[in-house]
Chains A and B, each alone.
Chain A
Amino acid sequence: MTTPQPRRHFTLDDTPEAAVDAEAPLRQREAFAGTSEHHPLAPLAEEKALPAASLGAPRKRRWGLLFALAGGAALGTAELVTGIPDALAQSHWLEMAWQLFGISLIGLGAFSLLKELGRLRRLKRHDKLRGNLAELPLRSPKQARAMAEQLRRQLKLADDDPHWLAFQRASQPHHSGEEIQTLLRYHLLAPRDREAQRLITRMSGETAIMVAISPLTLVDMALVAWRSLAMVDRLCRLYGLELGYASRLRLFRNVLHNMAFAGTSELAADASMDMLSLDLAGRLSARAGQGLATGLLSARLGLRAQRLCRPVPFTADEQPKIADLRQDLWRQIKQLDKDKVPQNR
């Protein structure tokens, strides 16, 4: 919205501003020699990256924070190290112990930071593999086979894992990239998908029940946050992704970003059913309604996380839907209510 402008008066001999840029000169005809260098008209790299293709919000590097941390660590180490000879000469043992302690603390910090960075790299590699596997139909059979091997390593399957063996038995040298992708989906990913589905159902069901019976709202919130994190963690491990602190944070942010912006249309489609089940649950008791609401949210979170972690993106018809989980949740809540009734009497 533009801000409303106050009334202004112009004199007649003022030149209108708009006229200035309307008069841009037309470009003359130009002939190029046939030998001059040219290339096909292709979109630039930054134009090609569609907003939907990049996960999460645009990244910004925190150079200031990085500078403060690195500078502090370096200066602190230098200070502590140079202090040691003095302390040794003057036999200040306690001071020296403190200095040694400080150095090891910085060392530990740096070590875990490096580990975090390594895990972040692994998340990035996972993303790259995901991209590659999605493009499998365009690859030659040989490249596709190499990528299947890469996926096996990512999923941490042994050479004699039954799923991998089944895949190898099924794949033939003449299979194209697309066919290999189909086989990978079926032999390597489908068992994990089923496992993930079970996990999401179980954990969101438990979350729902916990919220339904927990007496304190504050405890509820902590519980839900903790359990959701744990669920995302386990889902990732199922798809061969080990999360560190930073990578977990980033993935979680991606999941939430995805839920907030990408999934809203699906949300609208599901909303009516959700409302209905919430209404039904609310009739049972207010707490059951709350529990179901939390459970649904948790399940939705789980599905999003699964979608982001899965090395090969889901096709439209194999994508698990919240509707599949709702019934289970509902059953669990009802079960709870039935169990509760006899206790009260």
Chain B
Amino acid sequence: MRQPLSRELSNLLERGRDRQLRLAVTGLSQAGKTAFLTSLVNQLRHAGVEARLDLLPAAREGRLLGAQRLNQPDLGVPRFPYDPGMAALRDTPPRWPEPTRGISELRLQLRYRPARSGWLTPEIAHLTLDLFDYPGEWLLDLPLLQHDFYSWSKAQALYAGEQRRGLFSDWLAAVEQLDPASEADEAQLATLAEEYAQGLRRAKQAGFSDLQPGRFLLPGELEGAPVLQFFPLPQLNSSHHATSKEALDALPANSLYATLAARFRYYQQQVVKPFYRDHFRRFDRQIVLVDVLGALNAGPERFEDLSRALRQLMHSFDYGKRSLLTRLFAPKIDRLAIAATKADHVTPDQHGNVVQLLEALLAEPLKDLRFANVPVKALSLASIRATEAREVTHEGKRSPALRGTTLEGEEVLVYPGDVPARLPTADFWQQQGFDFPGFRPMQANSEALDHIRMDAAIDWLLGDKLT
């Protein structure tokens, strides 16, 4: 989607003056992107009045005057459904906002008083913040750009884990019979692709994360198009199949392998690349939301799966220092936050462990980021707090606990268990004491949403621009 020249120009100007930021909220599906964005908009709108943003210096000192929604630059993209989200949270009983099914944008203008008055600083300054929401399922298409069909087939974790393999067993049995060199049968391809998509959907239901390609789960406008009729060939990965890449590439255009590879290429070029180009290249700041606790709750296989998906994902972004030139023409992410979401599902004394576990989970990408000299902060947060931290006296001992209402509407008081500070070992999984129910949001008693450490996240992502 090309933008008109004048708008490009004004964007460039704003960027040059460093008064415009594009924030990437990255997270796989169910990581809490929509909740984060809803809460972010809510906190900034109510900053200085009801919102408690004590860890954000600009708000603490009363310099942040609030935020307003502006007309977004790109009229072709739907607006981020902030009002429906808030309506759901305000409902009786409160509900979580609907999961995202398409892309949407929002532009906020923040007004603040600069901390130091100088010759050039105005009395009241503003900062434009561009936010962008999209289905987390599509995010996993980005790592796909680095592959061709051959390497992609090899990289798929089709045989990883018993449970995961179980979900794909029918499709695996059918697809292993195929010979890459044989002539492609259109109808057979369509059924197999559909079976593969169903397998992905089942895996998604079962809580797995590393699912490619993302459009198979949420096709959007591509429903039923032949571009979605391809699948990886697991036999390329098996050792007894010794066909080299060159031999496969030399197969005729109507062979099974060549057909699948062509469709893969098309998907890459026509579906993933435009998405990446239009929405993902131009970011200044990024927050990566990870549902560590959910994965911990779900068991070893899904945890491993999440870790693999995140490792692949972090390679898809540009990180590095911003100079004037890069600020104008090729924005790079110069500050990154990684956040373990749903921190309200564990007691406050476990937050330190959650952060350590998150850092352990992302150890490999963090090393690369450090090498690129990008400042990273890890934190635990809850965009919308659903529980209250309490202390109970049980059998003469005082212990922390959480009080909240489960999704089924039952009020409970639980201690969800200790979170390991390192990557859990086999022992932990065997005698796992960690288990928490899903909570529904608390009944609101003020305009601003309760949160955990949203202020710290905002400070890290925007704080340096609000001085």
Contacts and interface: CB of A to CB of B under 8 A. Distances in A.
B366 interface: no
B349 A141 contact: yes
Interface residues of A, number: 14
Contacts of A176: 351-352
Nearest to A186: B60
Contacts of A186: 57, 60
Interface in B50-109: 52, 54-55, 57, 60
Contacts of B57: 186
A183 B52 CA distance: 13
User: Top 10 nearest A-B pairs by Cβ distance?
Assistant: A170-B54, A174-B348, A173-B389, A174-B452, A173-B348, A141-B348, A179-B55, A186-B60, A183-B54, A140-B349
A89 to B, nearest CB: 68
A174 B343 contact: yes
Contact of A182 (B55, B452, B453): B55
Given A172-B54, A174-B348, A176-B352, 9 more contacts: A140-B349, A170-B52, A171-B54, A172-B52, A172-B452, A174-B389, A176-B351, A182-B55, A186-B57
B265 to A, nearest CB: 49
Contacts of B55: 179, 182-183
Interface string A9-26: 000000000000000000
B351 A174 contact: yes
Contacts of A140: 349, 352
B349 A142 contact: yes
Nearest to A190: B61
A172 B349 CA distance: 12
Interface of A: 140-142, 170-176, 179, 182-183, 186
Contacts of B54: 170-172, 183
Contacts of B351: 174, 176
Contacts of A182: 55
Contacts of B343: 174
B330 interface: no
B369 interface: no
- Interface residues on chain B, size class: 10 to 19
Contacts of B52: 170, 172
A170 B343 CA distance: 19
Contacts of B218: none
B458 to A, nearest CB: 14
A248 B407 CA distance: 63
A140 B55 CA distance: 18
Nearest to B453: A174
B45 to A, nearest CB: 20
B456 interface: yes
Of A173, A179, A182, A183, chain B has the most CB atoms within 10 Å of the CB of A173
Nearest to A171: B54
Contacts of A171: 54
A175 B451 CA distance: 12
6 contacts: A172-B52, A174-B351, A174-B389, A174-B452, A183-B55, A186-B60
A142 to B, nearest CB: 7
A171 B55 CA distance: 9
Interface string B345-356: 000110110000
A270 B453 CA distance: 40
A172 B54 CA distance: 10
A160 to B, nearest CB: 20
Given A170-B54, A173-B389, A179 B456 contact: yes
A160 B247 CA distance: 81
Interface in B407-421: none
A179 B351 CA distance: 13
Nearest to B452: A174
A142 B349 CA distance: 8
Contacts of A179: 55, 456
Interface string B370-395: 00000000000000000001000000
Nearest to A182: B55
Nearest to A141: B348
Contacts of A170: 52, 54, 60
A129 B54 CA distance: 24
B361 to A, nearest CB: 20
Contacts of B389: 173-174
B439 to A, nearest CB: 15
Interface in B301-358: 343, 348-349, 351-352
Contacts of A142: 349
B96 to A, nearest CB: 20
A179 B456 CA distance: 9
Interface in B433-466: 452-453, 456
A172 B389 CA distance: 10
B404 to A, nearest CB: 14
A141 B351 CA distance: 10
A165 B402 CA distance: 25
A176 B456 CA distance: 11
A172 B381 CA distance: 13
A134 B351 CA distance: 21
A135 to B, nearest CB: 15
B138 to A, nearest CB: 32
B464 to A, nearest CB: 13
Contacts of A172: 52, 54, 452
Of B55, B57, B456, chain A has the most CB atoms within 10 Å of the CB of B55
A141 B353 CA distance: 13
A172 B453 CA distance: 10
A177 to B, nearest CB: 9
B350 to A, nearest CB: 10
A168 B69 CA distance: 32
Contacts of A174: 343, 348, 351, 389, 452-453
A176 B52 CA distance: 16
Of A140, A170, A183, chain B has the most CB atoms within 10 Å of the CB of A170
Contacts of B348: 141, 173-175
Contacts of B456: 179
